[in-house]
């Protein structure tokens, strides 16, 4: 694994989290969010930060390794860019604009994209595709949380 690629994807991935976080602002502690009917399986706040840290470390390693492959570089770049945009877009959509329906659309699209990446490259990237599992599992949880809020509010 190339160190420079790893640093670059680390900056891009954690930059996406930071940028999305800027739009969250006081969203989590806002009256709007506090008063929403949330899913009973909603984890405590600290779990979100912990989960995203693990996810982005795994995703950084995945992208750094896979970017070294000569095949599929253009496709991987396009998928990464779409993933980056969707990842950044969810926080302002949900917390800043308080649009639960579009937030659900964004996070569902991100979930489908990561599932596609895992399935699309699993044969070629073999073991390394498992690095996408934390991301996909978390997105299933996050999508269910957003979906519950959409249905119950």
Give me the number of domains the chain comprises: 1
Low-confidence ranges of the chain (pLDDT < 50): none
Please give the helix or strand (H or E) that residue 139 lies within, else none.
helix 133-152
In which domain, by residue range, is 24 found? 3-152
Quick count: other Cβ atoms within 10 Å of Cβ 119? 12
CA distance 124 to 59: 17
The answer to whether 104 touches 146, Cβ cutoff 8 Å, is yes
3-class state of residue 127 by DSSP: helix
Give residue 1's pLDDT. 65
Closest CA to 142 of 81, 80, 100, 84: 100
Helices (H), 25-132: 31-34, 45-67, 73-91, 100-125
Residue linked to tokens 């489908």: 112
CATH classification at residue 72:
1.20.1260.100
Give residue 21's pLDDT. 86
Work out the burial of residue 135: count CB atoms within 10 Å of its CB; fewer than 13 is exposed, 13-18 middle, 19 or more buried.
Answer: buried
Give residue 116's pLDDT. 97
Give residue 124's pLDDT. 86
């Amino acid at each position: 694994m190339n160190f420079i690629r790893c640093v670059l994807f680390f900056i891009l991935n954690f930059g996406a989290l930071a940028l999305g976080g800027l739009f969250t602002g006081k969203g989590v502690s806002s009256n709007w969010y506090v008063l929403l009917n949330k899913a009973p399986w909603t984890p405590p706040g600290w779990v979100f930060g912990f989960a995203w840290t693990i996810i982005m470390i795994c995703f950084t390693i995945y992208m750094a390794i896979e970017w070294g492959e000569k095949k599929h570089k253009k496709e991987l770049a396009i998928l990464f860019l779409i993933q980056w945009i969707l990842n950044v877009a969810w926080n302002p959509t949900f917390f800043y604009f308080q649009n639960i329906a579009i937030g659900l659309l964004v996070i569902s699209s991100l979930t489908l994209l990561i599932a596609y990446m895992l399935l699309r490259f699993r044969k070629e990237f073999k073991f390394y595709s498992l690095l996408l599992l934390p991301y996909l599992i978390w997105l299933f949880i996050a999508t269910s949380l957003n979906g519950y809020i959409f249905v119950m509010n």
